A and B are shown apart, each in its own frame.
Chain A
Amino acid sequence: MKLELKNIEKAFGEKKVLKGVSLIAEGGRAFGLLGRNGAGKTTTIRILMDVFPADSGEILFDGKPIDYNNVQFGYLPEERGLYPKKKILDQLVYFAELKGMNRSEAVSAVEYWLERLGMSEYKNKRLDTLSKGNQQKIQLVTAVAHNPEIVILDEPFSGLDPVNAMLLKDVVKEIIANGKIVLFSSHQMNYIEEFCDSIAILNGGQMVLAGELNQIKRNYPRNRLVVKSEQKQKIYDMYKGNCQNGENDSLIITLDNPDDKKKAMQKLTESFDIDEIKVYEPSLNDIFVEYAGNQA
């Protein structure tokens, strides 16, 4: 399965919200859609799900224009919300039915997922009697119960405790392993790094960076070293001007030439008591700040 967005443009009135967004997401892999608030992520998702049409551009599924009658989407919106006063089982079955399942299929799928998420005991309760985290787990069922080809998860981990986050991670991994296309949108970069093989960063409605996450990281000049040592101050004095403080009490040394890495590492380990030394790879957070920091 392959989903492609090609040069999508959208304007609301005078305001151009998307200025040529393109991306490729494949089955069995997770795709991270990143961007600051107002960058155009939700608009992209809504166009992808046919809530409203794009002004121009095309959406292809397996190389052909997408047919919404044959491709099912599962969506966990960032703004969570179901019917607070309705019985959980009833509304989950209703949503699964709206997605094309018949009643018995819907009931068994919903019951499977409630069981899987440890929520079976609540199925006959009203939604508003549940805690926020549990409501979120219920909401997740609406995104996966109808076995969709494409699953869009917008900030899936926000508001979850570590145990529930772990449970959700397992579920997401299972969905990816089942060959589905998973589209992730989140500001929690650690989760994106954990799940997503490829990412795209939106800034002011434009795609400013897209590709394989590993490749993106590799493409950064590998001329920096991360050093942890008890003799931090001495090292700092030695590399004055090319040295700055990093995370977790480390130092980042920038070399003039990437080829000097080996020599510099050798010199450092010989001269000082080194706890840890490695080539610096930018975190997704750094990449994000660099590309999305000054929103257009």
Chain B
Amino acid sequence: MKQFGKILKYELKNFFEDKVFVGVTLFLVVVIAGVMFVPRVLDSIDVSEEDTVSDDREVMLIVADSEENSKALSEVFAEVFNNYEVKAGDSDIEAVKKQITSGEAECAFVLKDLTSYTYYVNNLSMYDDNKAIAEELLTNAYRTNAFMQNGLTSDEVTEILSTPVSGDVENLGKDQMQNFFYTYIMIFALYMVILLYGQMVATNVATEKSSRAMELLITSAKPTSMMFGKVLASCIAGFIQLVAIFGTSLLFYNLNKDFWGENPIVNSVFGMPVELFVSMLIFFLLGFLIYAFMYGAVGSTVSKLEDINTAVMPITMLFVFAFMVVMFSMASGNVDNLLMKVCSFIPFTSPMAMFTRIAMSTVPLYEIVISIVILVVSVIGIGVVAAKIYRVGVLLYGTTPKIGTILKAVLKA
């Protein structure tokens, strides 16, 4: 126990003396703090630039069947397209095209009548919604015209067209839309942390082996103490890193809360319910441990650092599979499908699958308890087996041994 404490302390110290670890953490903290200030900065820029902004606007050309109509329509368009300088264009289409390709104008709407037009643009952006806006505008104009021709006044038409529908939603379970973002962020954080730290544990063990420090370590400390010390140290380091990152974001979010306003993503992330946060911690911790033990055990079986990547591949694949199942289920909107249900009881996939289900659906308490119990038992079991593999693995030099050879040796040990 005393030895375990010393190993844990030494391994933790290694993390906090590692320039890369400290550097990456600080970098992330600074970036996140910066991001949290973005709306405040944008806000102050918006205020100062309001007066001068008009001259920089792009030009939009409107061409109708007559010069008069072009002018009238361009005024209507100008009301909607605030961010464009809307002008009536030349009736010569070729001249309009030339203006666009030369960059003189950004885009042009050439209308045959109110229900048919051609949109000219130099490069069609992925996010170009001018067409949709124009269509709505034209539809409204067409309808207004039609109603007025049938004897309605302009006010009556406006009233008919803008009658609002009111409705309320009473959600009895979880709001998937709201929970989606933080579940997504948490699953992604779990994915990154397990892969990064798992690899770190494996590399750490393999480095000790390849530098032959292991010869001395194995005669100085119990393999179980070494294995558990290493895994727990990386777990604590990972946790501290996450606390630093999420703590910073929470702190700076609160400082800039007023500027974030009603941003649904950010509000949903910071409005995570406490019980969900607790279940996240439980699954995070157990999931981390189960994978870290496996990575550590595999790290002990390779003799050269170059072999690490190939050796840990099966574990990484298993983990990526769990991640994929969860991601696809989240995207499909049905997190309670059969595969997810099965995965939420398999210890290698349950940390992500069960957490996602808890976050985005309503899971009976007994299912959660069963899942956690299976996971805890598996963590202990895998921890013990991993320590045994470690004990055998660290003394095997040469080519990476076959799984069968290791298992035989473990059974004998």
Binding site for B on A (CB under 8 A): 13, 46, 49, 51-52, 73, 75, 77, 79-84, 86, 94-95, 97-100, 139, 142
Contact = CB atoms under 8 A, between A and B. Distances in A.
Given A94-B6, A98-B7, A75 B213 contact: no
A77 B6 contact: no
Contacts of B402: none
Contacts of A84: 211
20 contacts: A13-B408, A52-B391, A52-B413, A73-B219, A75-B216, A75-B219, A77-B215, A77-B216, A79-B215, A80-B212, A81-B212, A81-B214, A83-B208, A98-B3, A98-B6, A98-B217, A98-B221, A99-B220, A100-B2, A139-B216
- Which 9 pairs from chain A and chain B are nearest by CB? A81-B212, A77-B215, A98-B220, A79-B212, A81-B211, A49-B219, A81-B213, A97-B6, A98-B221
B10 A94 contact: yes
B413 to A, nearest CB: 7
Contacts of B211: 81-84
A142 B212 CA distance: 14
Contacts of B218: 51
B1 to A, nearest CB: 12
Contacts of A77: 212, 215-216, 219
Interface of B: 2-3, 6-7, 10, 14, 208, 211-221, 391, 395, 408, 413
Given A13-B408, A51-B395, A52-B413, A95 B212 contact: no
Give the residue among A51, A81, A86 with the most B Cβ atoms within 10 A.
A81
A80 B408 CA distance: 29
Contacts of A46: 219, 395
A73 B221 CA distance: 12
Give the residue among B2, B3, B211, B215 with the most A Cβ atoms within 10 A.
B215
Contact of B216 (A13, A52, A95): A95
B216 A81 contact: yes
Given A46-B219, A75-B215, A98-B7, 16 more contacts: A49-B219, A51-B219, A51-B395, A52-B395, A52-B413, A75-B216, A77-B212, A77-B215, A82-B213, A82-B216, A84-B211, A86-B14, A95-B216, A95-B220, A98-B221, A99-B220
Nearest to B13: A90
Nearest to A52: B413
A29 B137 CA distance: 103
A13 B409 CA distance: 8
Nearest to A128: B211
A17 B6 CA distance: 35
Contacts of B216: 75, 77, 81-82, 95, 139, 142
A223 to B, nearest CB: 46
A13 B405 CA distance: 9
A86 B207 CA distance: 13
Contacts of A13: 408
Contacts of A99: 220
Nearest to B10: A94
Nearest to B396: A12
Contacts of A75: 215-216, 219
B243 to A, nearest CB: 26
A77 B413 CA distance: 23
Contacts of B7: 98
B202 to A, nearest CB: 17
A38 to B, nearest CB: 13
A77 B209 CA distance: 13
A193 to B, nearest CB: 27
Contacts of B221: 98
Contacts of B391: 52
A52 B219 CA distance: 10
Contacts of B6: 94, 97-98
A204 B408 CA distance: 24
Give the residue among A49, A80, A83, A98 with the most B Cβ atoms within 10 A.
A98
Contacts of A79: 212, 215
Nearest to B392: A52
A86 B18 CA distance: 10
B214 to A, nearest CB: 7
Given A13-B408, A95-B220, A98-B3, A81 B10 contact: no
Give the residue among B14, B214, B219, B408 with the most A Cβ atoms within 10 A.
B219
A158 to B, nearest CB: 14
B284 to A, nearest CB: 30
Contacts of B219: 46, 49, 51, 73, 75, 77
Contacts of B213: 81-83
Nearest to A78: B215
A69 to B, nearest CB: 11
Nearest to B215: A77
A4 B214 CA distance: 26
A139 B219 CA distance: 14
A52 B394 CA distance: 12
A84 B212 CA distance: 10
A168 B218 CA distance: 25
A243 to B, nearest CB: 48
Contacts of B217: 98
Contacts of B220: 95, 98-99
Nearest to B394: A51
A15 B319 CA distance: 38
Nearest to B212: A81
B105 to A, nearest CB: 62
A142 B413 CA distance: 27
Contacts of B395: 46, 51-52
Nearest to A74: B219
B398 to A, nearest CB: 13
Nearest to B18: A85
Contacts of B10: 94
